[in-house]
């Protein structure tokens, strides 16, 4: 886990952080809110997060304030975020990252994306925050 500061930071949002930013901003810490509002920072969202959100909506585990497509589009726009697709390099890296790491495929893809794209993964997931092979920051700070 690292303290994120400096002139420009490349941030990859974990799925729950993206949801919090749109639905429950009070879940995020003050530093995280500042990072998301700082125009100098690049904010990225993985297409894996879009998949996870779509799945949660489809099974009724998540109810969004608006229709999914609009939520995704508006969520990216409001954060001035860009979407990072999962390509072959990210897919391969997700199962070549140093072990041990937990088996959740989405988390593996997010860690791999962060490593390849040179981003700090903004998360509250303790397993990711404690994983020494990815730059991460605690979204509750």
CATH of the domain at 64: 3.40.50.1010
- Residue 102 in domain: yes
**Stated pTM of the model:** 0.92
- Residue 4 in domain: no
Reported as a single tens digit per residue, the pLDDT across 15-73 is: 999 999 999 999 999 999 999 999 999 999 999 999 999 999 999 999 998 999 999 99
Extended beta strands in the chain, E state: 10-13, 42-46, 81-84, 120-123, 136-138
List, in order, residues 6 or more apart from 9 with CB less than 8 Å away: 35, 38, 40, 41, 42, 120
Reported as a single tens digit per residue, the pLDDT across 75-91 is: 999 999 999 999 999 99
The number of folded domains in the chain is 1
Q: Which domain holds residue 125?
A: 10-138
């Amino acid at each position: 886990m690292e303290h994120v500061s400096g002139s420009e930071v490349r941030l990859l949002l974990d799925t729950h952080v993206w949801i919090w930013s749109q639905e429950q901003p009070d879940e995020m810490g003050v530093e995280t809110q500042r990072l998301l509002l700082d125009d100098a920072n690049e904010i990225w969202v993985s297409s894996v997060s879009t998949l996870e959100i779509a799945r949660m909506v489809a099974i009724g585990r998540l109810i969004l304030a608006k229709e999914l497509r609009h939520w995704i589009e508006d969520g990216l726009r409001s954060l001035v975020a860009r979407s990072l697709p999962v390509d072959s390099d990210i897919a391969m890296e997700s199962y070549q990252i140093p072990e041990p790491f937990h088996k959740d495929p989405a988390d593996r893809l997010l860690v791999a994306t962060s490593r390849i794209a040179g981003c700090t993964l903004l998360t509250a997931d303790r397993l990711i925050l404690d994983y020494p092979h990815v730059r991460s920051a605690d979204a509750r700070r």
